[in-house]
Amino acid sequence: MRLSKLAAALPQVLKHSGPAIDPEIARIVYDSREVSPEDLFVAVRGTRDDGHRYLGDALQRGAVALVVETPPAKTPVPTLVVPDSRKALAHLAAAWHGYPSLHMRIVGVTGTDGKTTTASMIRTIFQRAGYPTGLITSVGADVGGREIDTGLHTTTPDAPQVQALLAEMVAHGCEYAVLEATSHGLAQDRLEACHFDVAVLTNLTHEHLDYHGTFAKYRAAKGRLFEYLSVTQRKSEVLKVAVINADDPSAAYFEDYPADLQLAYGLREPAQVMATNMAPTPNGIRFEAFTPSGDFPLELPLPGEFNVRNALASIAVAISQNIDPPVIQEALRRFPGVVGRLERIALEPFRVIIDFAHTPHSLEQALQAVRPMGAGKLWVVFGCAGLRDREKRPVMGESAGRLADRVVITAEDPRTESLEEICAQIEKGCRRAGRVAEADYWIIGDRAQAIGFAIEKAQPGDLVLITGKGHEKSMCFGTSEYPWSDHEVAREALARLKT
């Protein structure tokens, strides 16, 4: 593709510099180490580094054009100066792949907790209704039944990968794509140039303030998904739909964004989609759903009130797309769940469940959800990530101390922080809840030993909940990622009980 055609896709070009030629572009690259001859290099400013430092390296490797925010004094290749190169990267990637989001209906799901499960429920309903549907979540991507790993600790991939995945979905005949939209991904324009048709809010609680700085900025980042409804291209006869959790304190903020149709869902505040008569079942929870398309009973194979909310969000999306209630009922009744989300990996001699809960709100919700599933003591094994929101650590420790019978504090991606200090901050919350060291809670920094300790000490009828890592396949110590699986470690510990 010629540079001129790509340049036409940019929202704004402040200046053209360098020779007046129009080279053929082989690839669009934003990591100078990956540049090959005939590539276009986009210099992106990151939180830790700046691509502008590597313009010389990109040119030496054969880049034939540059996109920058700050132009070099002299350049031997055509250079486009833009106000925001990260945003430019997204538009270039969309143009390169033929604007795939214009050829499907795009659903975005944002919020602090519940994004992956809600997105997966929506996709399950669409598939049941006969619509081939692609999916991008923190667990990975699914394109035409092919699962694709999107990277370590990643929820929203970078813009070029998003556009490439959407293009692959179009090639596989997908009519819908469901995307998990994180605050980082939205703030960093990874979903720029995605033409959204439905925006969903699960909830908004204390998280990622280490990156955003304030709750207001965090909320504004989430709001960008709803802003996209009005600023991206409208598809023929397709309504722009906002689906909002009416019970969330920030609901009014998101309701201010314009949409053709707003659907509220909830359990307490008045809403178009609601649930009543909730009752636990041996495998999950049942409830009565009230919707604009009629009322119907529903059995969900997942426990917890928060999963009812996730289901209501997915029901609201389905209703907005004119999917009939019997299809919704059957799809959610058969919902297979999500790896690492209240995933049962053992029922005997006691239950062992793995979950991704890594925020104060999600940890509380998970503990409340599993409490009725075990007649004995409730154990929880968890930690808090390094270089992330420090304020939540004692809050999570207090929640664990208050809602679980036994707490094991351990590592969860300490990165370059002191693991001992992280655990000590969590411990403060445990002690505030009245818990006693070596009687009610233990600090075992080695996560494998911590999981093994809980499983070894648990008695028949107990329940062991392991949270924080969920589906993730690595753990970060220092600046290095090491292979890791809560599933493998827990199963090895369970196997040792039988020997």
Interval 250-297: pLDDT, tens = 999 999 999 999 999 999 999 999 999 999 988 899 999 999 999 999
List CB contacts of 11: < 8 A, sequence separation 6 or more: 87, 88, 91
Q: Residue 123 corresponds to which tokens in the numbers above?
A: 């996709």
pLDDT reported for residue 209 = 58
Cα three-residue angle 473-451-114, rounded to 5 degrees: 55
**What is the distance between the alpha carbons of residues 310 and 361, in angstroms, rounded to a whole number?**
14
Distance CA 69, CA 92 (A): 15
Supply the pLDDT for residue 375. Answer: 85
Alpha-carbon distance of 293 to 309, in angstroms, equals 18
Q: Residue 315 in contact with residue 122, Cβ under 8 Å? A: no
Task: Please return the burial class of 57, using the count of CB atoms within 10 Å of its CB with bins 0-12, 13-18 and 19+.
Answer: middle
Q: For the whole model, what pTM was predicted?
A: 0.90
Instruction: Please confirm whether the linkage preceding 349 is cis (ω < 30° from 0).
Output: yes
Q: How far is CA 459 from the centre of its chain?
A: 34
Q: At 28, is the secondary structure helix, strand, or coil?
A: strand
Closest alpha carbon to 90 in 183, 17, 195, 2 = 195
Question: Homologous superfamily of 99-333 in CATH?
Answer: Mur-like, catalytic domain (3.40.1190.10)
Phi, psi of 117 (to 5 degrees): -65, -45
CATH 3.40.1190.10 domain locations along the chain: 99-333
Tokens 């605050």 correspond to what residue? 183
Distance CA 94, CA 193 (A): 6
Fold of 3-95: 3.40.1390
pLDDT value at position 282?
83
Residue 206's pLDDT is: 67
Which residues of the chain are under the pLDDT cut of 70?
151-155, 206-212
Can you give the pLDDT at residue 419?
Answer: 97
CATH of 343-497, one of 3.40.50.970, 3.30.70.20, 3.90.190.20, 3.40.50.300: 3.90.190.20
Predicted confidence (pLDDT) per residue in 338-361, tens digit: 999 999 999 889 999 999 999 998
- H or E element in which residue 215 lies: helix 215-231
Range list of β-strands (E), 111-251: 133-136, 141-143, 146-148, 176-180, 198-201, 241-245
Q: In this structure, are residues 179 and 166 in contact, taking their beta carbons and an 8 Å threshold?
A: no
Residues of the chain with CATH 3.40.1390.10: 3-95
**Distance between CA atoms of residues 99 and 166, nearest Å:** 9
- According to CATH, where is 3.90.190.20 located in the chain? 343-497
